[in-house]
Structure 1
Amino acid sequence: MSSETEERVQFSSIGFSGLKQHCTAMETMKSNPEDCSQTELAQSPLINGLPDDIALFCLARVPRRYHALLKCVSKRWRELVCSEKWHSYRRKHNLDETWIYALCKDKFEQLCYYVLDPNVSKRCWKRIQSLPPCCLKRKGVGFQVLGKKVYLLGGCGWVEDATDEVYCYDAAMNTWTEAAPLSTARCYFACEVLDKKIYAIGGLGSNSSDPHSWDTYDPHTNSWRSYTDLNIVPDIEDSIVLDGKIYIRCGSSTPSSHVYAVVYDPSSGIWQHADADLVSGWRGPAVVANGILYVLDQSSGTKLMMWQKDRREWVAVRRLSHLLTRPPCRLVAIGTSIFVIGKGLSTVVWDVGKTGNLGGMMVSSSVPKLTSDDDVISCKCVAI
């Protein structure tokens, strides 16, 4: 037997032996909790017989779908899986996996929340039962992701004015907490992340709210700052972040083929009119995949359009069958894969990275829709 093989056998023996000892120790703790102080638990190794850095090396490679089981093993494992250290380690070593979270509205006009793991062969949407009860009937809420946390912001109801409340969902812990309130009560507003800060822009508010304002949230201080700019209008249709800038497509009160959009450059801190050529083709939900802007144009059939920055023109990538998509649709991207998510969470996945190699053909797959016809409000990705 070679020395390399002997080392592997010894490591495997130590690893399995350590796991067995750890499980035995946990059973003892459960049967005799009075013998195990909090200090002993804190000082106990992650896996008996292994240094913590090697244990982390092993545990961090467990697929994300099993993280809920890891949290059931012990208090130390639960704290590790929910920690920023775990999140940073998996991201640093390219071990993090991206799941898609969808905020929807059901037939009773109540908000509902779903998650999709796109990394498994049999993909399906699963409902997350927990949502803050006070938010269930709200409309025009903001929905955004920062790190491993999902934020539900503002909103309003039929009998209540816009609110400034913000709730935070920790995807690792599967829990909701209340975050610092918005500087300005808002609903039907744009919500984007830029430079690790959340931007809540425009929209409708209370009578005292400034319709030309925007707020920024710093998660390190858990606080908001408010700004104003006359180029921001309250009627907002869509928003994206492209090339380090925030673009907002605004609605129009008069029937017109003209699309109005503004762009925010953080280097100058001001809003100005966006490039007319880019804006001309922005006639539907948009997403940025691998640094390229795509739009789902549903004005005449359904087709995926791509903005070619070098040529300064929009080109059609592929026309989609009405049997595959059920408007209204939302787009979300993971790498070069674009997920077109429609009514009832009917989902079509297109790999736009392979279009050039296949003569314009796009590789696609689909995810079965729900039995209900929930409308999709917004979709975001969380990588852990």
Structure 2
Amino acid sequence: MSALIEGLPDAVALRCLAYVPFYLHPSLELVSRTWRAALRSRELFKAREEVGSQEEFLCVCAFEPENLWQLYDPYHHIWITIPVLPSKVRHLAHFGAVSTGGKLFVLGGGSEAVDPLTGDQDGSFATDEVWSYDPIIRKWSQCEPMRVPRAMFACCVLEGKIIVAGGFTSCRKSIALSEVYDPENNTWDSIQNLPYTYNSACSGVVIGGKMHVVHKGLSTVQVLGSLSGGWKVEDHGWLQGPMAIVEGVLYVMSHGLVYRQETERRKMVVSAYEVRKRIGSAMIGQGGEIYVVGGVIGPDRSNRDIKPTSDVDVLTVGSERPVWHRATPMSRCRGTILGCTILKI
């Protein structure tokens, strides 16, 4: 095998390659087979960790086209399309999406899609599927399934492991069952179940190193401080609406306004009137900014049609006068956002 860079040990050359931005990797792979193998190795990911050259990407899956994910590079303003999720479930939705160890994970969910030709339902409301995408080798892999199928559940990363809690089973029954996935060993273990179940969808956010399970329409929050501990029930009185964590602080969009939500009080940050018009968008924090991605516009008095959008709006919350600005729109995805998370490569 030829050396990566003539005159340099391969270990040193690999660290040099680790500084190259991720979006340029496809071009570098054309140099030689040796470079291609190096750029698609987990050793490169470890080298990027060691030299501090990792990049954060926004990962998005929308209603159109089905089961397709894109990665957004906020520094170079580029959308990267990855291979289609190879699930047999068409129009997979209501799943959990998180990242850890440089990989994207898609867990559970289901589909109520109907075959346009036969009228038959395609798929089921909830599945136990778990998929991981490795951006270095550019490949989806099927992981050990969850112990029960679930949809509309809370899903977070805590201590490098993935926790799923609550949601609904395939028979649309709410459950309290919680479990934890170890990505390194590809194994699931049970943890203490949620103290309460509610007949509403739930989501999870991590604040201060603790997982918070939030149910739609309820002020009650169930909190897990560590994998070895148990759940606590708290009443925070948080506003209802899309949530985003920015530098450890919770922001909520409610009634056309963005609030900074703290434990005992809240502060209005900025108006979100124009962004509010988009239904089914995703709101997520990255760096010191809030991204509102995709969704559909309409109908309204002037237009009865529903228009899927690829728009991306960004709010820099750390500035003295936060102002919205438009980022590069998604190049392939559009419409209701089904999954959104941050991936560090």
- Alignment TM class, shorter chain as reference: 0.7 to 0.9
- RMSD, aligned α-carbons: 2.6
Note closer, same or farther for the CA distance 1:267–1:174 as it changes in structure 2 (3 Å cut).
Answer: closer
Bigger drift between 111-120 and 215-224 goes to 111-120
Name which of 294, 309, 324 aligns with 2:251: 294
Deviations 1:301-352 (A, max 9, x none): x22111235xx21101111232686232222222212212131231111221
Match of 1:225 in 2: 189
Structure having the higher helix fraction is: 1
SS of the residue aligned with 1:322? helix
Match of 2:150 in 1: 186
Match of 2:206 in 1: 241
Output aligned runs, 1:1-384, within 5 Å.
Answer: 41=1, 44-106=2-64, 110-120=66-76, 123=77, 125-158=79-112, 159=121, 160=124, 162-206=126-170, 211-233=175-197, 235-252=200-217, 258-266=218-226, 269-274=229-234, 276=235, 279-297=236-254, 300=255, 302-309=256-263, 312-322=264-274, 326-343=278-295, 344-355=309-320, 360-362=321-323, 364-368=325-329, 373-384=334-345
Contact 2:57 2:74 in 1 (8 A): yes
Note closer, same or farther for the CA distance 1:46–1:167 as it changes in structure 2 (3 Å cut).
Answer: same
Note closer, same or farther for the CA distance 1:189–1:164 as it changes in structure 2 (3 Å cut).
Answer: same
Q: Distance in 2 between matches of 1:188 and 1:269?
A: 24
**What amino acid is the match of 2:149?**
A
SS of the residue aligned with 1:92? helix
SS of the residue aligned with 2:88? helix
Displacement of 1:207: 5.5
Contact 1:354 1:363 in 2 (8 A): no
Structure having the higher strand fraction is: 2
TM-score, structure 2 as length reference: 0.84
Contact 2:165 2:194 in 1 (8 A): no
Contact 2:239 2:252 in 1 (8 A): yes
Contact 1:102 1:378 in 2 (8 A): yes
Note closer, same or farther for the CA distance 1:201–1:271 as it changes in structure 2 (3 Å cut).
Answer: same
Deviations 1:268-294 (A, max 9, x none): 5211222x3xx3233112121111111
The gaps in structure 2 that reach 5 residues or longer are 113-120, 296-308
Q: Distance in 2 between matches of 1:127 and 1:377?
A: 16
Larger Rg: 1
SS of the residue aligned with 1:58? helix
Deviations 1:123-168 (A, max 9, x none): 3545434221413333322212112211121122334352212111
Q: Distance in 2 between matches of 1:296 and 1:96?
A: 30
Note closer, same or farther for the CA distance 1:259–1:221 as it changes in structure 2 (3 Å cut).
Answer: same
Deviations 1:257-277 (A, max 9, x none): x52321112165211222x3x
Q: Distance in 2 between matches of 1:330 and 1:373?
A: 12
Note closer, same or farther for the CA distance 1:342–1:232 as it changes in structure 2 (3 Å cut).
Answer: farther
Q: Distance in 2 between matches of 1:194 and 1:323?
A: 31
Contact 2:294 2:334 in 1 (8 A): no
Deviations 1:47-100 (A, max 9, x none): 122222432232222111111222333343233223333222223322111111
SS of the residue aligned with 2:127? coil
Q: Distance in 2 between matches of 1:373 and 1:335?
A: 23
Displacement of 1:184: 1.6
Identity of aligned residues (%): 27
SS of the residue aligned with 2:284? strand
Displacement of 1:371: 8.3
**Corresponding pairs, count:** 321
Match of 2:118 in 1: none
Q: Distance in 2 between matches of 1:371 and 1:132?
A: 17
Higher relative contact order (CA 8 A, sep 6+): 2
TM-score, structure 1 as length reference: 0.76
SS of the residue aligned with 1:119? coil
Bigger drift between 319-328 and 82-91 goes to 319-328
